[in-house]
Amino acid sequence: MLKAYNGIYKGKNPDNYLKINNKLWRIISHNQDGSIKIISTESPEKLAWTSNTDTNFTSSNINTYLNKTFYNSVNNLAIKKSDFCLNYNKENCQQKIKVTIGLLTTYDYLNASNNANCKIDTIQACKDGNYLSDFSIENGPEYTMNYTKNEIYIIKDGLIGTANPHEILNIRPVLAISKTAKIIGGSGTKDNPYILNEV
């Protein structure tokens, strides 16, 4: 089904488009439990991470929006809770959080690059050969799930950086669809995206 490297889509423009309710998504990965993790090609809202000093994702404005307001617009999908990587060491995730709808993680962003020189998250090589870099180049910075005590990691102009949590930036929903939803058509291109049997 998926033309992906170890279940992960890599490269500048892989055939990983998926159409759901007339909206385009891209498949990030095919997971071991049979689910697929997908990211919206659009930002449904621009938000500040927080209105106070708490940078934890679970207490953020974005988590509230994604798992209440946005969830209600897609709750007819077979969505399942999935792991999002908050801290990693080289290729291994060290800390995970399980949520229903989240954002792109820096871990998934780096894994989408097919450039062998992409080993440090701030270098140009991670922008090259990475289909996930295009959104921030064309639409402006987007928040990721990753945060520190005082800042949030973002993707800006195709590179990983940080921002003040009060900045109003793009958010792109990321979620996992259960293995009960099957791809029944399409080739994964933008003009002929994959189609699910359950929407």
Statement: residue 27 has pLDDT above 70: yes
Q: Please tell me the predicted confidence (pLDDT) of residue 5.
A: 58
The per-residue pLDDT of the chain, averaged, comes to 89
As beta bridge partners, residue 25 has 18, 40
* Mean pLDDT for the stretch of residues 160-172: 95
What is the pLDDT averaged over residues 118-136?
Answer: 83
Residue 54 has pLDDT above 90, yes or no: no
Q: In the chain, pLDDT over 90 holds for what percent of residues?
A: 60
pLDDT band for 1, please (50, 70, 90 cuts). Answer: very low
Residue found by looking up tokens 């617009």 in the block: 73
User: What pLDDT was estimated at residue 6?
Assistant: 67
Query: How many helical (H) and strand (E) elements, i.e. helices and strands, does the chain have?
Result: 4, 15
Gap between the Cα atoms of 54 and 76, Å rounded: 32
Q: Please, which pLDDT band fits residue 19 given cuts at 50, 70 and 90?
A: very high
Q: How far apart are CA 15 and CA 23, in angstroms?
A: 16
